[in-house]
């Protein structure tokens, strides 16, 4: 999508600190980190958000989670991380290209705010 921040990051038109990339997804450091590890994992396909995802996007959704687990393993934060989809403005979703937050490397409180 031409006017989408994360599509532009994937295309290399806006700089980001890349963490990982494969055929289906692109992962990069959040610009405003909320934990020592705060990585965004986004599908290369422009999907607006979780509630807009289609049955055909199931493999992408699973792949984002498995990619988060891989990065968590690589960063040795497996004792304390969380994966989060914010869904809708009331949850804090501010970018309307699906993205999985990987937050970790510190004690995480529950319930989240
Ligand atoms: P959300 O609020 O769930 O939509 O998450 C959007 C996230 O994107 C926030 O955590 C922002 O800090 C992050 N973000 C916004 N612009 C950029 C950017 N140019 N590079 C990296 N992360 C960004
Ligand atoms: Zn997009």
User: Domain locations in the chain?
Assistant: 5-104
Predicted confidence at residue 45, as pLDDT, reads 98
* Cβ within 8 Å of residue 9, ≥6 positions away: 15, 16, 26, 28, 42
What percentage of the chain exceeds 70 in pLDDT? 100
Average pLDDT, the chain: 97
Please give the average per-residue pLDDT across 38-55, as a whole number: 98
Domain covering 5-104 in this structure, CATH number? 3.30.428.10
The C-alpha atoms of residue 1 and residue 36 are separated, in whole angstroms, by: 31
**Ligand 2 center from residue 50 Cα (angstroms):** 13
Please give the average per-residue pLDDT across 54-77, as a whole number: 98
**Ligand 2 center from residue 107 Cα (angstroms):** 31
Predicted confidence at residue 27, as pLDDT, reads 99
Is the pLDDT confidence value at 1 over 90?
no
The C-alpha atoms of residue 11 and residue 15 are separated, in whole angstroms, by: 10
Please give the average per-residue pLDDT across 82-108, as a whole number: 97
- The helix (H) or strand (E) run that includes residue 18 is strand 18-21
This prediction's pTM: 0.98
Is the pLDDT confidence value at 14 over 90?
yes
Q: Which residues, judged by CB distance below 6 Å to any ligand atom, belong to the binding site of ligand 1?
A: 5, 14, 16, 30-32, 40, 86, 92-95
16 near 55, Cβ under 8 Å?
Answer: no
Residue 46 annotated to the active site = no
Largest Cα separation within the chain, whole Å, is 39
């Amino acid at each position: 999508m031409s006017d989408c921040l994360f599509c532009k990051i994937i295309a290399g038109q806006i700089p980001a600190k890349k963490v990982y990339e494969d055929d289906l997804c692109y992962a990069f450091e959040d610009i405003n980190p909320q934990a020592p590890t705060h990585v965004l994992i986004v599908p290369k396909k422009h999907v607006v958000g979780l509630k807009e995802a289609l049955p055909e996007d199931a493999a992408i959704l699973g792949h984002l989670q498995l990619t988060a687990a891989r990065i968590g393993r690589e960063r040795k934060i497996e004792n304390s991380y969380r994966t989060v989809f914010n869904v809708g403005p009331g949850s804090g979703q501010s970018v309307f290209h699906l993205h999985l937050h990987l937050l970790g490397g510190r004690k995480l409180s529950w319930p989240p705010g």
